[in-house]
Amino acid sequence: MMQDVDFLGFVVIPGLIFLARIVDVSIGTVKLILISRGMKIVSAVLSFFEVMIWLMVITHIMQNLDNPLNYLAYAAGFATGTYVGMILEGKIALGRVVLQIITQRDSEDLRSALKEAGFPYTQVNADGNEGPATFTFTVIRRKRLPEALEIINNFNPKAFYSIEDVKHVREEMIKDRRRRSILATLRKGK
């Protein structure tokens, strides 16, 4: 009987604390990212579950203050949960980003590839430290970011680019542009 208590207190409970912290901190990490993107309702729902899990964990720790493994499990779960939350957010890839590309050479091929892939873009001729340059930017879904980066790297592996999160986008323009692109493709097929 004593071995069962030891196993429960020194293996099962710390293990459950570790796993619960991974879940609640992962939820918290994703929630913060969603808050920054203006997703209020989803963030509020996630907050509820995050705090409920945290309350259950802290209750078990307070009932077993004499077990230092609980503290280690709590801290390790927090660190692991932060890491897992960042991975989850990257996989979910919600929202849109602004992709800004600066090149020193003619970017006709880049523009053609972006257009063919369905990425709306705007291009401006510029003057930089290295001479004439083109500044191309596009607002795209984060899920499509790897595809856009592949296009850039195929065009010019040394092109400079930056990526910024977008909080709000006027969706009507994007939907209208997509509809026109689909209609143009259908007309070409006739």
pLDDT in tens, 49-106: 999 999 999 988 888 788 889 999 999 999 999 999 889 887 877 778 899 998 887 7
Q: How far apart are CA 89 and CA 86, in angstroms?
A: 5
* Domain identity same for 87 and 101: no
Specify the 3-state DSSP secondary structure of 159.
Answer: coil
* Domain identity same for 106 and 146: yes
> Are residues 125 and 134 in contact, defined by beta-carbon separation less than 8 angstroms?
yes
The CA angle 179-185-188, to the nearest 5 degrees, is 140
> What is the number of H-type helices and E-type strands within the chain?
7, 4
Distances (CA, A) of 73 to 9, 17, 19, 80: 12, 6, 8, 10
pLDDT digits (tens, 9 = 90+) for 13-62: 899 999 999 999 999 988 988 888 778 899 999 999 999 999 999 988 88
Record the pTM. 0.63
Print the domain residue range for 157: 96-189
Domain count, the chain: 2
